[in-house]
Amino acid sequence: MKSGKLYKRMNLTIFTLVMVFLYIPIIILIIFSFNDSKIVAGWQGFTVKYYLQLFENQQIKQAFQNTMLIAILSTLFSTILGVLAALGLENKRFTGRKVMNALIYVPLIMPDILMGVSLALMFNFLRVGTGMATVLIAHITFCVSYTTIVVQSRLQGFDYSLVEAAMDLGAKPWLIFWKVKFPLMIPGIIAGALLAFTLSIDDFIITFFTSGRGFDTLPIYVEGAIRRGTITTINALSTLMIGFTLFLVAITKRVRNLLLR
């Protein structure tokens, strides 16, 4: 009995330490975003001026617009391609199924720096000017693997007796897909799209190699701002991004609950 209680206490202690290790830096970042000091050397007083400066900074606004545009477009295209790829790979009579499955996993295991360099070399070989188009292509390239795998996992648990029942009732293939199969795929599609959206917003290395000059996303801008020493504004920006992420999580959970009812 005592050993059981000791085991539970140890688990609780380890869990608490892990949570502290993970979230203390985030909490410190949020606190110091309100610090009235140009350098993070100590607490100098409470202020919201860096948030006001953030909304007045045109470079940050442009970087944010670029980030959201790339994230939305790459999510849209990678989700469509991922759904089509998952449906195609579902056919076991497809002769190249194993090879295609292996290729889908390559971007997941390939280091980001290697993928970024290879894409940059490809664009240079094709004499394509770097900018928004090349960043979008790069993001679709690595996001489509994640969306495909997530949708595939949803299809693996699909109850095909529903399809057979619809066929017995005389439903046409396209009607079976849109009325039976697609609604059950929606949670997987949403999960894959959200994962792609998060990865696109967060990406730095691949974007760095494919963006060129004149097209900055938020991660690129943040890296440059930190090198210039303007970390106080970046703390405020990071705090807002954390709040935005939590908002997306809450909305996603709400939508998921509505779909599963």
Q: Say if CB 52 and CB 249 are below 8 A apart.
A: no
For residue 117 the two structure tokens come to 């360099």
Is the pLDDT confidence value at 1 over 60?
no
**From 8-22, 47-61, 127-141, 167-181, the region with the lowest mean pLDDT:** 167-181
Which whole number is the average pLDDT over 200-214?
86
The full set of domains in the chain, from first to last, is 58-259 (1.10.3720.10)
Closest CA to 261 of 190, 193, 156, 183: 183
Is 190 in contact with 257 (CB distance < 8 Å)?
A: no
- pLDDT higher than 60, residue 7: yes
- Cβ partners under 8 Å of residue 138, min gap 6: 115, 116, 119, 206, 207, 209, 210
Please say if the pLDDT value at position 23 is more than 80: yes
Which two tokens mark 161?
């007796």
Express each pLDDT in 71-94 by its tens digit: 999 999 999 999 988 888 877 777
CA 215, 200, 108, 15 torsion-angle sign: positive
Confidence of residue 255 (pLDDT cuts 50, 70, 90): low
Mean pLDDT of 127-132: 84
pLDDT at 48 (0 to 100): 82
**DSSP-assigned states of every residue in 112-165:** HHHHHHHHHHHHHHTTPPPSHHHHHHHHHHHHHHHHHHHHHHHHHT--THHHHH
The model's pTM: 0.79
Among the residue ranges 19-33, 63-77, 127-141, 220-234, the one predicted with the least confidence is 220-234
Higher pLDDT: 257 or 128? It is: 128
Confidence of residue 96 (pLDDT cuts 50, 70, 90): confident
Is the confidence at residue 195, as pLDDT, over 60? yes
Bridge partners (DSSP) of residue 35 are: 46
Q: Of 74-83, 92-101, 129-138, 217-226, which range is least confident?
A: 92-101
User: In this predicted model, what pLDDT tens digit does every residue of 141-188 receive, in sequence order?
Assistant: 989 999 998 888 888 777 777 777 777 777 777 777 777 778 778 888
**Between 230 and 121, residue with greater pLDDT:** 121
Residue 46 pairs with which residues in a beta bridge?
35
Say what the pLDDT of residue 2 is: 57
Q: How far apart are CA 75 and CA 82, in angstroms?
A: 10
* pLDDT of 226: 75
As a whole number, mean pLDDT of residues 103-131 equals: 86
* Amino acid code (one letter) for 20: V
C-alpha dihedral, 110 to 111 to 115 to 117, nearest 10°: -150
| Contact by Cβ (8 Å): 138, 118 | no
Q: In whole angstroms, what is the distance from residue 7 CA to residue 64 CA?
A: 47
**Per-residue pLDDT band at 256 (split at 50, 70, 90):** low
Q: Which residues contact 185 (CB under 8 A, 6 or more apart)?
A: 83, 151, 154, 155, 158
Query: Which residue has better confidence, 259 or 95?
Result: 95
Cβ neighbours of 56 (radius 10 Å) = 9
